[in-house]
Amino acid sequence: MLMKRMYQIDVDQEVYDFLKSNAEPLVDTANSVLKRYLPLGPKKTSRPPSSADVDVLLEFPPSTPKALQHTMAVLRLVRNLRIDIIQATHVVAKRYGVARETIQDQYTRQLGIRTGQIDDLLTDANLPKLKRRLLDKFPEHAPIIEGEFTIMERLNFQLYCQPCLTSL
């Protein structure tokens, strides 16, 4: 797997304290905290999703394994509602009545992904890699996974490309 080049930087105490106070222990890296707060890529919202948003986004066929439901629910919240992954993880854990660590484990360790890699895999360029990992883990549920990623691609097109085409 191609890894993004990482750089080492020096920060003063104030920046270090900011990173520390805004990091989820054992989840965040300094990079993921900075990405959450800097205006990079699509804007994420800090508002909690409404219960109606969550109910619609967390419906799955009954035969879907819980680990796949939980993982896809987090992906839906992050990609469709543009909330950050930590908040999405908390929402899904609360909705399904399981620990946050259980949800995080399902979309990281169980897919062979380190915690710091998940933000990168959620970018448009790397979604195919994430899709491949899910298909490898849940091959018998390929139609659900394929459908989810098709929807994500369409939503991205509407969000980013449709305004450009209508202005032509």
Predicted confidence band at 130 (pLDDT cuts at 50, 70, 90)?
Answer: very high
Q: Is the sign of the CA dihedral 100, 107, 23, 86 positive or negative?
A: negative
Residue 141 covered by a domain: yes
Residue 25 covered by a domain: no
pLDDT tens per residue across span 71-126:
999 988 888 777 888 889 999 999 899 999 999 999 999 999 987 788 888 887 88
Domain containing residue 124: 49-159
What local confidence, expressed as pLDDT, does residue 160 receive? 42
For the chain, the domain total comes to 1
Q: What is the DSSP letter of 45?
A: B
pLDDT above 70 for 155: no
The CA distances from residue 65 to 26, 61, 109, 120, in Å, are: 26, 9, 16, 25
Residue 12 covered by a domain: no
Residue 37 covered by a domain: no
Residue 35 covered by a domain: no
Residue 66 covered by a domain: yes
